[in-house]
Amino acid sequence: MGLFHYFVAFFAIFLKTCSKDVIERLYDSTGWTRKQKIFVKLAKLTSLIKTILEFLTPLTEDRLAFILGSLLFVFGLIGFLIALSNFKKSPTNQPITKGLYGISRNPQIFMLGIMSYEMSFVIGSWICVLLSTVGLILNHYRILAEEQRLE
């Protein structure tokens, strides 16, 4: 089990502090095309397969890889929580431009991408690195769908 379980716990706690409007905006897929929805589902499937592989694979004995993976996770988790906080504090009827959203158009997905590499390094699996990369590419379609909806 990796540090990802801490992410799930933090995210669940964060969602409990959000209003219904914020949660609806976070998961809004209104106006997405069928292709975009399929790519997002494939990204989630890729993540599920990667998580199962990570669970079944022992940790690496390479201390440097373990430290690198742990640092990636901590950096990604802190960034993700900051991005969610920026998201939560922004008016629901306006684009988000403050905080990490002033640097990146989609800091949540970017930080999740960083965290997705965490266990890949901790277990020393190039297959998981590949699955993380495929997941990031597929999530690009989610970003495009969100941007089209916002226009």
pLDDT digits (tens, 9 = 90+) for 15-68: 888 888 888 888 888 878 888 889 888 988 998 898 888 888 887 778 888 888
Closest CA to 84 of 145, 133, 134, 11: 11
In terms of Cβ atoms closer than 10 Å to its own Cβ (0-12, 13-18, 19+), residue 92 is exposed
The answer to whether 130 and 45 are in contact (CB under 8 A) is: no
- pLDDT tens per residue, range 54-93: 888 887 778 888 888 888 888 988 998 899 899 888 887 7
pLDDT at 5 over 70: no
When pLDDT is cut at 50, 70 and 90, the band that residue 3 belongs to is: low
Give the position of tokens 């997002």. 40
Domain span holding position 113: 4-150
| CA–CA separation, 114 and 23 (whole Å) | 23
Non-local CB neighbours of 88 within 8 Å, separated by 6+ positions:
14, 17, 18, 22
- pLDDT tens per residue, range 105-124: 889 888 888 888 887 888 88
When pLDDT is cut at 50, 70 and 90, the band that residue 4 belongs to is: low
Taking residues 131-147, report their average pLDDT.
85
Which of the 8 DSSP states describes residue 57?
S
Taking each helix axis as running N to C, give the angle between helix 126-150 and helix 107-116, from 0 to 180 degrees, rounded to the nearest 10.
170
pTM, two decimals, is: 0.77
Give the position of tokens 């069928």. 34
Task: Tell me how crowded residue 148 is: count the other CB atoms within 10 A of its CB.
Answer: 12
Non-local CB neighbours of 87 within 8 Å, separated by 6+ positions:
22, 25, 26, 96, 101, 108
When computed from its CA atoms, the radius of gyration of the chain, rounded to whole angstroms, is 16
The answer to whether 121 and 68 are in contact (CB under 8 A) is: yes
What's the total number of domains in the chain? 1
